[in-house]
Each structure stands twice: as structure tokens, then as C-alpha cells.
């Protein structure tokens, strides 16, 4: 039997599960994807997970991926982790979690986000330094919440990590992150390319509690520690890349960056809805997160909290299958079941209006799709304004549609109808894990992290032609949102603070 090409493993440690992509390092062929679930707990805005389960899930997913691929452990030469962004992991001196991790979609820290913004005199100083304004999702706000509500735990913290940092440290024994994931903390300066000492002082964080920042996510930061090699059943010489955040890894997996595509917008439909594009221009715009990419470019990103899970909840409430939806007609749903990040309405609940005696249940479900897609596409308008001097010049450029929603017919139809743009659905179904595999390959060669993905043909796929834009539905949803925003800001029984909601007219 001929010797198999060496393989690399890309790990996607997301909110709900871990996926481990086993990839042929020479051809980029995706040989298998191992999976293992996570548990998320919390009510009333709390969202937490035990970091220990992430490590167990990584171990299980890697083992299943190798078994499904029929690949012997000796064929593995490198591994990299991409993790859910923003999560706050606090550890003792031995690396043991002091409490469950606060996840990105935990909105209890909304008051702390407002207070931090005000502490610097408003959004502009934050944009100038970090490229982003604190919102409940950002790690800085979560750390401020921990100090306010669990001061003993904060005082006992000997290490502060992001989810991907935690796992990379388990792999190598080295405390390291990358600019991409670090840029989602709101204590890393995308202007200075380093931790911001003034912001750390504001937050009461000793810099010694934080990991070092590697130049890129593809930087080789070590090899498997003996304990990790035993746990994973892998050779000790396996190289470990710095890794990055999940959105940055997906951009790599789609071939976006300095050695691939620039200014090609991506729409991701998952637990959250996100839009982003790679650019050489450092973004600093309200309503967007001005992230660093993992290849020394930038990745401006907009995010909504409520996407596929919110629509699935409506389907369950209505007793319908996901694909039993029809266009909403006069019904409007704002599916802010977990509060909302964009617009910044952390205390909001869902809103349903426009019901008639003859309204079909399928139309209510269709309106939930429309409300979620509207929110994401509305953020896309702001992204294009930042990335492109003339957004109209790229209006016919296909949107790259990824995430679980990209595989749903009604999701695709709704995005096409509300955007009026062609869609490109990439052939790679796990771009985060695939991008992490490209980072692992880059750790072996020292190449630009996007270069392996481009060589593998990342980002290609089927193009769905545009359909006529449904401006009537767009304008109806926009009008409901504008009228309901004061109520949504307060939330059910909660005195609210609507911090910088973005009111945009639909793009013609």
C-alpha cells in the first residue's frame, strides 16, 4: 500500500460543538470531520460552558475524525485550533478553570459595556485604539462584569484566556494567542498591534495574566506536550499553530486575505449571523467590530445574536419543519430571543406583529426567517460602506453564504430575495475547521496562512443567480424596527439603555 500524504487537523471549537477536520496537507482534500457536542447552560441572559468539556470534545472529535478518515495517528503532522470568539476563561495557577466560561452570547455584561464606553468618553476613543466599541459580547465587558459580580473569582484569576487560547495552551503548555482572536477582547489595539496598556489599567488586568501574541495564527508555537499527545493518541512531534478565532479561520478557509480574495463579503448563518470581508484598510466604524485578520490584513465584522437557533425555535413553537415556511406577507417578526447585538438591544425580546385571522403558520415562520435575514443584511450595508469606497460598484458581487443556514433552501431563498444579489455557496462545508487546517499547514512551511487554502482551491462553489429584490418586505421590517426600538431597548420589565442603535435605510 502506498504511503499516505501527511495530514493536518483543523479544530473548530464552536458554541455548540467541536469539529475536527482531517485534511490531506498536499491536496487539501477533506478526508473526514469528527464531531463532539458541547453543553451550554444559563437563563435570563446568561450563557456559560465548562472549558473542560471543550478539551474532552476536542479529544473525541480528533479521534473520530481519524477513524472515519482511516488515517493512522503517525500521518498527522500539525494541528491548529479555531475557537468561538470573546469567551472569558479564568484559570488558577495550575490552569484549572475557576468557574464556567462566560460565552460571547452572554448579555449580562451589557451595563458594563456601556460603562466602559463612557469611561473613555464615548465610542470614538475605543474605535481609534481597538477598532471596536465595547458591547456585551466583548471580553472586556465580561471581565468587568466578573469583577463587579464575582470579585473573589476575579481576584483569584492567575490566567485570563479566550476559548481558543485555553485549548492551544492545553496542546502545547504555552500561553499564546494571535492578533485575530486577541482583537475581539477590546483590550488589544489593532492600531498598535499589541495589548493596550492603558485599557488593561482601566480594566484592572495585570498584563502577566494574558497570553503572548504570535505574529499570525499560522505561527508555529510548539509541539504537542506529552500529556496532550497521550490524550489525543498522536505523536509528540506534531506541530501546533497559534490558531485564531472562528471568524478569522473561516476567512482563511474561504481564501480571503492578502494572498486570496479581498473585499468579497461573507454572510454566515449560524447560531449568530455574521458578515465580514478581508481588507487592507484598518476599519474603525460604529456598529462594526474592527477585527484584525490572522494574516496581517483586517476583518471588519458585524454580528447579530439571533439567527438559525431563533428561527428553529419559531419552527418548534409552530410545530413546523424548517422548510414548511412561506414568505411572511404582512407579518413581521423581530426574532430577538436572546437580546440583540446589532442593533445594540441586549434587553430586547422577540416581537411579532401583523397577524390576521387568515395568517398561516408557515407565514409566521417565514417572517422569522425574514427578520433574521434582514438583521444580517442590514449589517452588511454598513460593512460595505467601510470596506468599499463605492458600494454600488460591488453591488452585483456574489455574497459568500456559509454556516448551517447556507444548507437550507428557505434560508437561501430569503437571503436572495431580500438582498437581490447572487449567492455563492462554497463547496467547503466546514470553513472554520478547514481554515484551521490551513493554519496548521502554514505552521509547517512558514507560509502566509491564506496561501495553503488558496492552493487547495478554497472558496469555490455553486453560484445562485440573483432574483428581484423584495423591497416591500424590507421596508415593512425596517419600519417596525424603527417604531419598536424604544420598547425593545427596555426589554420585558427591564429598564434598558439603547446604546447607539443603527437606523439605516434599505439600499436601493
Which residue numbers are catalytic?
246
Distances (CA, A) of 190 to 135, 185, 186, 297: 17, 11, 10, 10
**Cβ–Cβ under 8 Å, residues 34 and 61:** yes
Spatial separation of the C-alpha atoms in residues 146 and 153, rounded to whole Å:
8
Tell me the three cell numbers of residue 172.
Answer: 502545547
Q: Alpha-carbon distance 97 to 383, whole Å?
A: 36
Paired sense of beta strands 289-292 and 298-304, if any: antiparallel
Nearest to 210 by CA among 170, 158, 245: 158
Which grid cell is 454?
488558496
Q: What is the maximum span of the chain, computed from C-alpha positions, in angstroms?
A: 69
Q: Are 426 and 254 in contact (CB under 8 A)?
A: yes
Q: Which residues pair with 464 in a beta bridge?
A: 423
Q: Which residue has the cell 504570535?
A: 214
C-alpha pair distances (Å), 14 with each of 183, 234, 398, 430, 472: 18, 23, 26, 12, 36
Q: Where are the beta strands (DSSP E) in 110-219?
A: 159-161, 176-177, 188-189, 194-195, 212-213
Backbone angles phi, psi at 382, to 5 degrees: -65, -35
* Residue 218, SS3 per DSSP: coil
The residue to which cell 427591564 is assigned: 494
Amino acid at each position: 500500500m502506498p504511503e499516505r500524504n501527511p495530514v493536518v487537523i483543523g479544530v473548530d471549537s464552536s458554541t455548540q460543538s467541536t469539529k475536527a477536520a482531517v485534511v490531506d496537507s498536499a491536496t487539501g482534500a477533506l478526508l473526514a470531520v469528527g464531531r463532539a457536542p458541547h453543553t451550554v447552560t444559563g437563563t435570563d441572559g446568561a450563557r456559560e460552558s465548562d472549558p473542560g468539556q471543550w478539551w474532552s470534545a476536542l479529544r473525541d472529535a480528533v479521534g473520530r475524525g481519524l477513524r472515519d478518515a482511516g488515517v493512522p495517528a503517525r500521518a498527522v503532522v500539525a494541528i491548529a485550533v479555531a475557537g468561538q470568539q470573546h469567551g472569558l476563561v479564568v484559570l488558577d495557577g495550575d490552569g484549572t478553570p475557576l468557574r464556567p466560561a462566560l460565552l460571547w452570547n452572554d448579555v449580562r455584561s451589557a451595563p458594563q459595556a456601556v460603562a466602559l464606553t463612557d469611561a473613555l468618553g464615548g465610542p470614538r476613543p475605543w474605535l481609534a485604539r481597538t477598532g471596536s466599541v465595547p458591547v456585551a459580547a466583548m471580553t472586556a465587558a465580561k471581565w468587568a462584569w466578573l469583577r463587579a459580580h464575582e470579585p473573589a473569582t476575579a481576584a483569584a484569576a492567575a490566567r485570563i484566556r479566550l476559548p481558543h487560547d485555553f485549548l492551544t495552551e492545553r496542546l502545547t503548555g504555552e500561553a499564546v494567542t494571535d492578533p485575530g482572536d486577541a482583537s475581539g477582547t477590546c483590550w488589544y489595539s489593532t492600531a498598535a498591534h499589541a495589548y493596550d496598556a492603558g485599557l488593561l489599567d482601566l480594566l484592572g488586568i495585570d498584563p502577566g495574566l494574558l497570553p503572548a501574541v504570535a505574529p499570525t495564527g499560522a505561527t508555529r508555537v510548539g509541539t504537542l506536550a506529552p500529556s496532550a499527545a497521550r490524550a489525543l493518541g498522536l505523536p509528540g512531534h506534531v506541530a501546533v499553530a497559534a490558531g485564531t478565532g472562528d471568524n478569522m479561520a473561516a476567512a482563511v478557509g474561504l481564501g480571503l486575505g492578502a494572498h486570496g480574495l479581498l473585499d468579497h463579503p461573507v454572510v454566515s448563518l449560524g447560531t449568530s449571523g455574521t458578515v465580514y470581508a478581508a481588507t487592507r484598510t484598518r476599519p474603525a466604524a460604529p456598529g462594526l467590530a474592527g477585527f484584525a485578520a490572522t494574516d496581517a490584513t483586517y476583518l471588519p465584522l458585524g454580528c447579530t445574536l439571533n439567527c438559525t437557533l431563533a428561527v428553529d425555535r419559531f419552527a418548534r413553537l409552530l410545530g413546523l419543519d424548517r422548510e414548511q415556511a412561506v414568505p411572511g406577507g404582512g407579518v413581521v417578526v423581530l426574532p430577538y430571543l436572546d437580546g440583540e447585538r446589532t442593533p445594540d438591544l441586549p434587553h430586547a425580546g422577540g416581537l411579532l406583529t401583523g397577524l390576521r385571522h387568515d395568517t398561516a403558520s408557515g407565514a409566521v415562520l417565514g417572517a422569522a426567517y425574514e427578520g433574521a435575514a434582514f438583521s444580517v443584511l442590514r449589517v452588511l450595508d454598513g460593512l460595505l460602506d467601510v470596506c468599499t469606497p463605492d458600494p454600488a460598484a460591488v453591488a452585483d458581487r456574489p455574497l459568500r453564504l456559509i454556516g448551517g443556514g447556507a444548507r437550507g433552501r428557505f434560508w437561501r431563498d430569503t437571503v436572495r430575495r431580500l438582498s437581490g444579489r447572487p449567492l455563492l455557496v462554497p463547496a467547503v462545508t466546514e470553513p472554520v475547521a478547514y481554515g484551521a487546517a490551513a493554519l496548521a499547514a502554514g505552521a509547517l512551511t512558514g507560509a502566509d496562512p491564506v496561501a495553503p487554502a488558496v492552493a487547495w482551491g478554497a472558496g469555490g462553489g455553486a453560484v445562485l443567480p440573483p432574483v428581484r429584490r423584495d423591497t416591500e418586505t424590507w421596508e415593512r421590517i425596517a419600519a417596525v424596527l424603527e417604531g419598536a426600538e424604544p420598547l425593545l431597548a427596555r426589554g420585558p420589565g427591564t429598564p434598558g439603555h439603547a446604546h447607539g442603535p443603527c437606523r439605516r435605510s434599505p439600499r436601493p
